[in-house]
Amino acid sequence: MSRSASAALMPLGDALGLLCATAGPVAERLVPLAFAGGRIAGGTFEAPRALPGGLTAARDGFAVDSAAIVGASPYAPVPLPHRPAWVEAGEALPTGTDAVLPPESLESHGAVADLAVREGARGPGEDLAAGDRLLAAGERIGPLHLLALAIAGLDAIPIRTPCLRLVATGAAAPDGLSPLLAALIAGRGGDSECLAVPDDVEAIASAVGGGDADAVFVLGGSGYGCTDRSVAGLARAGRLHAHGIALRPGETAAVGEAAGRPVLILPGRPEAALAAFLALGAPLLARLAGTVDAPAAPAPLLRKIASVIGLAEIVFVRRNPQGVEPLGGFELPLRRLLQADGFVLVAPEREGHPAGDQVEVRPL
């Protein structure tokens, strides 16, 4: 069974283009390293110099010339002319030494173990060479990035942090979408503010047009029911580009702009809201943050995916060592959605994927 997308539904690519047309990377701000974790790097950073700068102790012990104790053992100690200098891990080795003898390997003035050249030591540039890339612009800053940056001598870096306004309409009771979207935004390096409003056109318009966030997500009220007034609110506040996207689930999503910033209206059902965010909201957030797209991980399908020609389709999946199990997408029950840890975007020109097909799996 197949069908073409309705003329009333805008293709996903076109909707995304309109949503992102006025969006660009937000301004950078300088923050201490302690506050940079999980944020998006505003620049590329390289090691300014080689680390360590010279031969350095990698452990506590005695600095020795390895050639002077060749063949030393408990049965044949090698006497040393004087007690070698003690060094702590991280200290430069004295001139004329190239290895660090463990404390238990020295008895009186004799070595009872031999060492290879640079054993117990770290050579110049072994940790970092001058010019090594520590962090690329657009990368999400992780703990190991912070370690490298601190060791390289940096104490603050510029980041880009988009701020999204979440307008939760009164139709969602209880409001489960705000915590979901806030977590998804934070996981992509952004901040969010949430404002709850009733299902009233003027209230929605005021919330959409107010504040100084970089973009607005309206949660719920995107359908055609008697209490669905989000689209009318957007039209009142600014400009509606499209209502109805060739995306399943998420057909009732809408895109527009107000006060010079992008606006995305998400459906109220959890699986449809999540799908619309992944297909439209996440790329917008990436554009605002200037992020580098993470490559999708290919994996074999354990069961086939059936899709509808003409609609892009988000299918939620659960990964396991053998591959990925499709959980579904359209009208997916919450108990099934809770099992998802990734998704597959089926192109509108495909009728799905057969079992065993390698598909690109993206994280939620």
Judged against a pLDDT cut of 80, whether residue 7 lies above it is answered with no
Asked if the model's pLDDT at residue 3 lies above 50, the reply is no
CATH code for the part of the protein at 297-363: 2.40.340.10
At 170, the pLDDT band (50, 70, 90 cuts) reads confident
Query: Which region among 5-9, 108-112, 132-136 has the lowest average model confidence (pLDDT)?
Result: 5-9
Domain boundaries defined on the chain: 12-26+161-289, 31-50+129-159, 56-122, 297-363
Split at pLDDT 50, 70, 90, the class of 63 is very high
- Mean pLDDT confidence for 28-55: 95
How does residue 306 score in pLDDT terms, banded at 50, 70 and 90? Answer: very high
CA distance from start to end of the chain: 29
Q: pLDDT per residue over 193-235, tens digit each?
A: 999 999 999 999 999 999 999 999 999 999 988 888 999 999 9
- Say whether 31-50+129-159 and 12-26+161-289 share the same fold: no
pLDDT band at 245 (very low <50, low <70, confident <90, very high): very high
| Furthest CA-CA distance within the chain | 95
CA distance 105 to 85: 14
Give the burial class of 219: count Cβ atoms within 10 A of its Cβ; 0-12 exposed, 13-18 middle, 19 or more buried.
buried
Q: Are the beta carbons of 342 and 279 closer than 8 angstroms?
A: no
**pTM to 2 decimal places:** 0.87
Give the span between the Cα atoms of 214 and 288, in whole angstroms: 8
Q: What tens digit of pLDDT does each residue of 123-153 get?
A: 999 999 999 999 999 999 999 999 999 999 9
Mean pLDDT along residues 46-61: 95
pLDDT band at 4 (very low <50, low <70, confident <90, very high): very low
For residue 5, what pLDDT is reported?
A: 46
Q: What is the CA radius of gyration of the chain?
A: 29
What tens digit of pLDDT does each residue of 77-91 get? Answer: 999 989 999 999 999
31-50+129-159 belongs to which homologous superfamily? Answer: Molybdopterin biosynthesis moea protein, domain 2 (3.90.105.10)
Domain 12-26+161-289: give its CATH architecture: 3-Layer(aba) Sandwich (3.40)
Topology of 56-122 in CATH?
A: Molybdopterin biosynthesis moeA protein; domain 3 (2.170.190)
